[in-house]
């Protein structure tokens, strides 16, 4: 290897490039640092995007693909929040019962309504969400209890004031299993705590699934918020192969119940699958990932501009050296290759270190994430190659400037 660097023309040019970069270590280090930051940023942003995608896939698997969501109003949804601010009063608990009783292939149905509330226990006062549901909701959503039990269908008929607490609510109330059987006040209505749900964490839409107080839907509507209508109906079907067929049957049933056939009006509800809702979120997450990766890629371009600035300063400082080399026989091609070598070396070293650092960051994100995802090795290699290309691209102008310097003027310039 040493003989190649001393005997071949290309080897000598490569050796001179290393010496030139080593002559000003601080400037070289800063140029390389820019490339390192750019490459590592791109890989880290891709890892963040992968983490979001893995979380969405986990949510789909947990919720299942055999669940339909009926929302009040024919309005596009973003996550779980309706874009329109108008109050929609088109769904009722009776609609949910009709779906369960009249459509074959439906395993279970749960009405769902939520409301931000104030909860009081002893001297503790917290803000949380009251979720009015049926017992089927716990099965559909895969909610397991840590202590106690869920309420029964008879509790819905009797308007029993019973509640199941999420883990976040328990933590905020500074209580544990001793709260079972005790009374809490939700919107100043007393409820007896009968269960504590297991920790579920944050869902794909960024909502804390543990910051909820689950109560019977009928009790919530008539005794707490005094409403007759609900926002959502969850429908669990027998098989995901029947999903589209049952979706259409639900649509026809609700149109008939809401007298929409006679009036010729459009649907006043929206029937979606859980996969539909999560797919919308996935598209938004993916677009955001592309955006932040693009922003991170700009840092590579900035690093390339920094390399060009370093090389231009180097040409300016080494004008006498360039003139001397031309005078003793170095060709323009030799000088062009040398300065391109220098630019490429900056890109290779920065890209390699940046790729290693980026993979390390991605591995750390993966290790601290409960949803596993593959470390983006392909993007690490791609980002490194892109960094080298950027370095060469921005190194062309300084290299051409150095190779085109006339020997005479270069030797006489101070």
What are the residue ranges spanned by the domains of the chain? 14-59+280-412, 89-267
Question: What are the φ and ψ backbone dihedral angles of 128, each rounded to 5 degrees?
Answer: -155, -165
Look-up: residue for tokens 């190659």? 385
Closest Cα to residue 388, out of 337, 338, 354?
354
Q: Which residues of 91-102 are buried (b: 16+ CB within 10 A; e: fewer)?
A: bbbebbebbbee
pLDDT for the residue 81: 46
Output DSSP code: residue 177.
G
Closest Cα to residue 382, out of 411, 354, 342?
354
Tokens of 146: 């840590």
Nearest-angstrom CA–CA distance, 272 and 289: 25
Question: What are the φ and ψ backbone dihedral angles of 233, each rounded to 5 degrees?
Answer: -125, 130
Nearest-angstrom CA–CA distance, 284 and 78: 9
Contact 133, 112 (CB under 8 A): yes
pLDDT for the residue 176: 83
Output DSSP code: residue 404.
T
Residues 6+ apart with CB under 8 A from 170: 176, 179, 196
Closest Cα to residue 230, out of 99, 114, 80?
114
* 3 state DSSP class of 208: strand
- Which residue positions in the chain have pLDDT lower than 50? 1, 4-5, 77-86
pLDDT for the residue 79: 43
* 3 state DSSP class of 377: helix
Question: What are the φ and ψ backbone dihedral angles of 269, each rounded to 5 degrees?
Answer: -150, 165
**Helix segments in 166-273, DSSP class H:** 167-172, 217-219, 243-257, 260-263
- Sign of the alpha-carbon torsion through 171, 174, 177, 179: negative
Nearest-angstrom CA–CA distance, 41 and 49: 12
Nearest-angstrom CA–CA distance, 21 and 9: 19
pLDDT for the residue 248: 92
């Amino acid at each position: 290897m040493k003989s190649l660097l001393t005997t071949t023309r290309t080897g000598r040019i490569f050796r001179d490039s290393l010496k030139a970069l080593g002559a000003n270590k601080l400037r070289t280090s800063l140029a390389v640092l820019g490339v390192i930051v750019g490459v590592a940023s791109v890989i880290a942003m891709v890892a963040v995007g992968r983490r979001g995608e893995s979380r969405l896939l986990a949510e789909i698997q947990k919720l299942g693909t055999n669940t339909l969501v009926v929302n009040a109003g024919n309005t596009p949804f973003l996550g779980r929040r309706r874009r329109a601010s108008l109050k929609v009063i088109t769904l009722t608990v009776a609609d949910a019962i009709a779906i369960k009783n009249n459509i074959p292939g439906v395993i279970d149905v749960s009405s769902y309504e939520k409301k931000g509330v104030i909860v009081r226990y002893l001297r503790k006062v917290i803000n949380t969400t009251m979720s009015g549901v049926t017992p089927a909701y716990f099965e559909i959503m895969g909610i397991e209890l840590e202590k106690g039990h869920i309420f029964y269908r008879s509790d819905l008929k009797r308007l029993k004031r019973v509640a199941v607490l999420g883990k976040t609510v328990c933590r905020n109330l500074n209580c544990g299993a001793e709260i079972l059987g005790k009374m809490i006040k939700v919107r100043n209505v007393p409820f007896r705590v009968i269960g504590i749900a297991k920790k579920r964490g944050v869902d794909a839409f960024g909502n804390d699934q543990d910051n909820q107080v689950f109560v019977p839907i009928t009790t919530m509507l008539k005794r707490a918020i005094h409403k007759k209508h609900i926002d959502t109906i969850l429908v669990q079907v027998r098989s995901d192969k029947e999903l589209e067929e049952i979706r259409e049957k639900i649509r026809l049933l609700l149109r008939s119940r809401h007298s929409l056939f006679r009036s010729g009006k459009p649907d006043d509800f929206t029937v979606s699958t859980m996969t539909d809702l999560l797919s919308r979120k996935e598209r938004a997450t993916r677009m955001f990932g592309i955006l932040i990766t693009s922003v991170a890629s700009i840092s590579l371009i900035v690093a390339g501009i920094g390399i060009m600035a370093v090389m231009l300063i180097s040409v300016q400082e080494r004008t006498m050296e360039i003139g001397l080399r031309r005078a003793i026989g170095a060709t323009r091609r030799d000088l062009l290759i040398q300065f391109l070598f220098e630019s490429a070396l900056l890109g290779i070293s920065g890209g390699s270190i940046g790729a290693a650092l980026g993979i390390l960051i991605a591995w750390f994100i993966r290790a601290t994430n409960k949803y596993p995802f593959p470390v983006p090795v392909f993007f690490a290699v791609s980002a490194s190659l892109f960094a080298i290309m950027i370095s060469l691209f921005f190194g062309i102008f300084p290299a051409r400037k150095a190779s085109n310097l006339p020997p005479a003027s270069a030797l006489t310039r101070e």
